[in-house]
Structure 1
Amino acid sequence: MRRFTSVFLSFLLFLVLLSHVSSRPPAVPARRSIVGETCKQIARDDPNVDFTFCSRSLRSVHGSDGADLRGLAMISLKLAVANATGAGSRAKALLKGGGLSRYYKSCLAACGDVYADAVSDLRDAAGMIRSGRLVDARVHLSAAVDAPVVCEDGFRDGGLASPMTEEDGDLMQLAVIALAITVRLG
C-alpha cells in the first residue's frame, strides 16, 4: 500500500506540474531591436561606422530601442551636438595652456571654429528633419561630417599630433550615423 501511495502521489505531482506548464502562454518572440538593425545596416554600408560604437551610442539614450527611425535620427543628432560642444570646450581649454606654438594655437582655434559650425549644422539638420526637409538636412549633416576632418588636417599639415583625435573620431562617427539614418528616412 505504501508503494501504491508513493506512486499515486508522484503521478498527481506530475499531473499538477504538467497542467502548470501547459497553461503558460506561449513565449512571445523577441522584438527586433531597431537600434541593432539600423546600426547593422549602417555599418555594413559605410566603412566609417563601427557597429559596436553605433549600438552603444544610440542605446545610451533611454528609449532608443522604442524609437522609430526618425526618433533615432534625432537621438543621433543630440549625441553629435553634445560631442561637438564638448570638443569645442576642450579645444578652448587647451588654448589656455602655456608653451604652445603659434601654429598649434591656430590649429586649436580652427578646431573650435569648425566644432561651433558643426553644432550649428547639426541643430539646423534637426529642425529640417522635424519639418520634413530631408534633402536640406543631409546637406547640413554632410558639413558636420567634414568638421573633424578639417580639425585633424590642420595638425597633420603642420606635422603635429592632434590632441583632438578621440573627439574627432567620435564626432565623425556620430555625424555619419545621423546622416545615414536621415538618408534612410527618405
Structure 2
Amino acid sequence: EDSISAMGRFTSVFLSCLSFLLFVVLLPHVSSRPAAVPARRSIVGETCNQIARGDPNVDFTFCSQSLRSAAGSDGADLHGLAIISLKLAVANATSAATRAKALLKGNGLSRYYKSCLNACRDVYADAASDLRDATGMIRSGRLVDARVYISAAVDAPVVCEDGSQEGGLASPLAEEDGDLTQLAVIALAIAVRLG
C-alpha cells in the first residue's frame, strides 16, 4: 500500500507540475490572441485618421463607419481596405446614376434641369465604370493606373454639382455628390498608401 500511495502522490505532484508548466508556457500565447484582433481592427481607424487629417473633404466618422460597415473590413489589411473602399464607391456611383435616371422620369422638368440630370447620370455611370476598372487594377498590382482611374471618379460629383450651380439650381444629387467625393478620396488615399 505504501508504494501505491507513494505512486499516487508522485502522480499527483507530477500532474500538478505539468499543469503549471503548461499554464506558464501557453499563457503568453493565449493572452496575445485577443490583442491581435484589436490590432487588425485598428487599421480602419488608423487609416481613416491619416486620410481625414490629410484631406478636408474626408470626415473621420464617415470614413470609419463606411469601411467598418463592409464585410471583411475587420480582418482586412491595407490592400483589402483598398478593395473595400472601391466597392463602396462603385455602389454609391451606381446608385447615384440610377437615381438620376429615375428623376429624369419626373413631370414638368425644365430642359436645363433635364440636361443637368443627364450629365449627372452619365458622369456617375462613368465613375462607376472607372472605379470597377480600378478595383481590377489594384488586384493585379497596377497601382499607378488604378490611381488615375480613381482620380477621374473623384471629379464626377464636381461635374454634377457645377452643372446645377451654373443654372442657379441646387444639385439634385447633393447627398450622393458628397458621399462619392469622400468615398473616392478615401479609395485614392488608400491606393496611394499601397505604393
Shared topology, TM-score over 0.5? yes
Query: Which bin holds the TM-score, normalised by the shorter protein?
Result: 0.7 to 0.9
* 3-state SS of paired residue (1:64): coil
TM-score norm. by structure 2 comes to 0.81
* Deviations 1:79-119, CA, capped at 9 Å, x for gaps: 00000000011000000000110000000000000001101
RMSD (Å), alpha carbons: 1.7
Matched, 1:50 2:80: no
The more displaced of 31-40 and 169-178 is 31-40
Q: Name the counterpart of 2:133.
A: 124
Q: Which residue of 1 aligns with 2:93?
A: 84
1:64 to 66, 73, 84: 73
Aligned length: 165
Query: Where do 1:1-186 residues align within 5 Å?
Result: 25=27, 28=32, 29=35, 31-32=38-39, 33-186=42-195
Deviation at 1:39, TM superposition (A): 0.4
Runs of 4+ in 1 over 3 A off after TM superposition: 25-30
TM-score (normalizing by structure 1): 0.84
Q: CA deviation at 1:162?
A: 1.3
Mark the runs of 5 or more structure 2 residues left unpaired by the alignment: 1-23
How many Å separate the matches in 2 of 1:107 and 1:77? 26
Shift of 1:63: 2.0
Q: Report the secondary structure of 1:38's partner residue.
A: helix
1:127 CA drift (Å): 1.0
Identity %: 81
- Give 1:46 deviation, angstroms: 1.0
Q: Separation in 2 of the partners of 1:131 and 1:81?
A: 18
Mapped to 2, the partners of 1:178 and 1:54 lie a distance apart of: 10
Deviation at 1:130, TM superposition (A): 1.0
Partners of 2:87 and 2:172 lie apart in 1 by: 24
For residue 62 of structure 1, report the CA deviation from its aligned partner.
1.9
Give 1:47 deviation, angstroms. Answer: 1.0
Structure 2 equivalent of residue 6 of structure 1: none
Give the Å deviation of 1:158: 0.4
Report the 3-state secondary structure (helix = DSSP H, G, I; strand = E; otherwise coil) of the residue aligned with 2:155: helix
Inter-partner Cα distance in structure 2 for 1:76 and 1:45: 17
1:138 Cα deviation from its structure 2 partner: 0.5
